[in-house]
Amino acid sequence: MTASDDFEIETDQLADAVTAFANGNPILAYDSADRENEVDIIYPAATVEPQDVTRLRNDAGGLICVALSDTVATALELPFARDTLDHPVAASEELKYDDRSAASITVNHRDTFTGITDQDRSVTINRLGALAADPTTEAFVEEFRSPGHVQLLRAAPNLLADRRGHTEFAIALTAKANRAPVAVVCEMLDDETGGALSPAAAKRYAASEELVYVDMSER
């Protein structure tokens, strides 16, 4: 199954999300009450600018990650994080929401300074998006260093057929929108409760910012 075949456009929400993504705009996506029960803001990686990282930091508040397709991740020889750690804490994964984590390594672009500023992270994200056009390990090593301040995520090979995460949804969305298979995902958190932002609150935010909101469980 290819990324472009991973979901059919069955709802107006999905159609609007594809259009927004094709135009380089972010969308909000809620997974389900049976999974993380979280809403992520998702951007096409190649369009992210410093002010977008600022929005993710202030309005979302979760970990700013870059999801890559399995094809790109394989070309870059990206491991899963659990396979790189020689420590007892990595001996087993016991997640409450899935069988495994999509987490890979963290990186900074070599042109950045500390790598944490909004400007630096936007450079790292943009260059990851550009690298997807011709992904090679040599180019990756030449441009990036690890550890860094941008968390990479490996999408499952068959995307939502394998794993129903924001990572896989984001990459499926890039395919439908004819975008490079690299996307930024960041969880939305609630400043008042300290927990995940509720779907209702996320919908209000989406409406106020004129962004598309998608319920992944309705696809």
What are the backbone angles phi and psi of residue 127, rounded to the nearest 5°?
A: -70, -30
Task: Tell me the one-letter amino acid at 126.
Answer: N
Distance CA 142, CA 140 (A): 5
Check: CB of residue 31 under 8 Å from CB of residue 214: no
Lookup: tokens for 185:
């995902």
Distance CA 79, CA 84 (A): 7
* Catalytic residue IDs: 40, 65, 97, 108, 149, 187
Distance CA 84, CA 71 (A): 20
The DSSP output letter for 156 is P
Check: CB of residue 199 under 8 Å from CB of residue 134: no
